[in-house]
Chain A
């Protein structure tokens, strides 16, 4: 009791005792959101949405036609100068109409700031390659092509980079299984490595790793009142709920 009191006094009455909560930084937040508004004002043709995450990261959502204009603007404009492309990846969300979300991460050494640019596409629509703007995008786009199947138009050399030479399929898609479709083994008769359909020793076990508590209570979307009413009726009708 005395020890906790001492800790309380030493921390000061103003500071929260919960040390794992990330301290908010309103100054950086306002700076980033003003810069985001500045970009959205200059490029209204392509920018669909601008947001600043809770970790103070600026994200710019653009239409796929605007990849080259927006990236060139961010690289060349004097107030932006994002000369470094730190990362280029894709995210597969199969439930969406345009399932692949392409994410560009840029860094400005002059202004010590980062920005994230996001676009979207589906399996068949090609995107403009950003290699003319940032050479770093070369192998990243090859990786996205190999792993997701997103085609980049005007890419200097778009071929597989990580999968085996005759590999079929795009491994990072959500519908591609964890073990894959083929496995390889050395065959002594033909004296080379052969690829055969995969045989698992144990069938694949899918564990339900959901916690009993709600993960994002702030984002809980209440369904309509009608379905909640029916759900309540269903619960009440269970035999074990009624008293004996």
Chain B
């Protein structure tokens, strides 16, 4: 049985791509709630729109995986889910604000 790769049925592949598209739309929607100049919004929008364009242009899953170059499509989906959860938490934490508090003078000095 070595070397025999079972073909994934087409419905499963299409549903995976659909899930990816939904996730990317949700992430972009969640990023809209952040201020325009936030670095997180800027870089994540760039990254997600790039991946989204790949998904829209390429319908063959294997070629899409090579284009995105971040592992298998299921792994890309889990990365997108993590990014969505992160963007929702970022809207609460607002990490683009200036520094909360400076460290005391010698805190990070090494050797002492």
Contact = CB atoms under 8 A, between A and B. Distances in A.
B99 A48 contact: yes
A63 B104 CA distance: 11
Given A38-B43, A78-B83, A44 B106 contact: no
B86 A77 contact: yes
Interface string B70-100: 1100000001101101100110011111111
A48 B108 contact: yes
A73 B100 contact: no
Contacts of B97: 44-45
A48 B96 CA distance: 13
A63 B107 CA distance: 11
Interface residues of B, number: 32
B106 A42 contact: no
Contacts of B79: 78, 81
Interface string A30-69: 0000000010011111111100000000000101011001
B86 A97 contact: no
Given A73-B86, A76-B86, A45 B107 contact: no
A75 B95 contact: no
**Most chain B CB atoms below 10 A, which of A61, A93, A96:** A96
Contact count band on A: 20 to 34
A198 B8 CA distance: 70
Contacts of B106: 96
Contacts of A95: 112
B47 interface: yes
Interface of A: 38, 41-49, 61, 63, 65-66, 69, 72-73, 75-79, 81, 93, 95-98, 110, 118, 120, 216, 219
Interface of B: 39-40, 43-44, 47, 70-71, 79-80, 82-83, 85-86, 89-90, 93-104, 106-108, 111-112
Given A98-B104, A120-B103, 19 more contacts: A42-B39, A43-B40, A44-B95, A44-B96, A45-B93, A45-B96, A63-B100, A63-B101, A72-B89, A73-B86, A73-B95, A76-B85, A77-B83, A79-B43, A79-B47, A95-B112, A96-B107, A98-B107, A216-B111
